[in-house]
Chain A
Amino acid sequence: GDSVTQMEGPVTLSEEAFLTINCTYTATGYPSLFWYVQYPGEGLQLLLKATKADDKGSNKGFEATYRKETTSFHLEKGSVQVSDSAVYFCALSGYAGNQFYFGTGTSLTVIP
């Protein structure tokens, strides 16, 4: 079945450091891929998405490229800020109406 494997955390970085959170997936067909972010005490917010191979999703300085050949969708940011401290979830979905499959989440703490 479809699944997402996400880099284990927690991750602690200094402000302005480079961030990579790895995500790989297994899916039949051609899923859409997502990164969601969960700030402390809040729900899940869409961070970025990509719907087909080689698409790059980007938002708030974060980027991820849909790589079909490596079945990956790694999240990157060149310079993290304290306000980026949150839990990040990689997810996939096959089509509208289909359930989302989430990774385990990676907790990021950015220290000044």
Chain B
Amino acid sequence: EPEVTQTPSHQVTQMGQEVILRCVPISNHLYFYWYRQILGQKVEFLVSFYNNEISEKSEIFDDQFSVERPDGSNFTLKIRSTKLEDSAMYFCASNGLAGYNEQFFGPGTRLTVL
């Protein structure tokens, strides 16, 4: 069964460093998303991406964040200068046009900013 994959599973970085989180969505999907979950809190929407551009973003997704689909298969989230409060689990998700608009989630990347 096709699935969304994410790498790395755990990333540790120093405050102020740039990080890139990688995702490979399901191959025939058209919509891509990033969410984050700070420990013990709810899953929060960051951004959605369709047709090679951002279609929606939340207040969390400020200028420090960017997304890219560089090669037609990977979908990346970049944080330019990490802060302590960026420590969270980051989930990638994707879905297609048809069906029940169900989103398929990856296993997540745990980002720890020291």
Known: A99-B45, A102-B43, A104-B41. A43 touches B107 (CB 8 A): yes
- Chain B proximity of A77: nearest CB distance (Å): 21
Q: Which of B43, B44, B58, B101 contacts A44 (CB 8 A)?
A: B43
- Is A73 an interface residue, CB under 8 A from the partner? no
* B65 in the interface (beta carbon within 8 A): no
The answer to the question of B81 belonging to the interface, with a C-beta cut-off of 8 Å to chain A, is no
Q: Which of chain B's residues have a CB closer than 8 A to the CB of A96?
A: 31, 95-99, 101
Counting CB contacts under 8 A, is A20 at the interface?
Answer: no
A36 close to B (CB within 8 Å) = yes
* A105-B42 in contact given A44-B105, A97-B48 (Cβ < 8 Å): yes
Stretch at the interface among A11-19, A21-29, A45-53, A78-86: A45-53
Q: Contact: B95 with A44, CB < 8 Å?
A: no
- Does A42 lie at the interface of the complex (its beta carbon under 8 Å from any beta carbon of B)? yes
B101 interface neighbour in A42, A95, A102, Cβ under 8 Å = A95
| CB closest chain-B residue, reference A100 | B103
Residues on A with C-beta less than 8 A from B75 are none
**A109 CB–B CB distance under 8 Å:** no
The count of chain B contact residues (Cβ–Cβ below 8 Å) is 30
How many chain A residues sit at the interface, stated as a range, is 20 to 34
B25 shortest CB reach to chain A, Å? 13
- Contact mask for chain B residues 9-48; partner A; CB cutoff 8 A; 1 contact, 0 none: 0000000000000000000000101010000011111001
What is the distance, in angstroms, from B33's C-beta to the closest C-beta of chain A?
Answer: 7
Task: Answer yes or no: B73 CB below 8 A from chain A CBs.
Answer: no
Chain B 88-101 interface 0/1 with A at a Cβ cutoff of 8 Å (1 = within): 00010101111111
* Least distance between B109 CB and chain A CB atoms (Å): 10
- Chain A: residues with CB nearer than 8 A to chain B? 32, 34, 36, 42-46, 49, 51, 89, 91, 93, 95-105
Q: List 5 A-B contacts (CB under 8 A).
A: A44-B93, A96-B31, A96-B98, A97-B55, A99-B33
Interface residues in chain B, defined as those with a beta carbon under 8 Å from any beta carbon in chain A: 6, 31, 33, 35, 41-45, 48, 50, 55-56, 58, 91, 93, 95-108
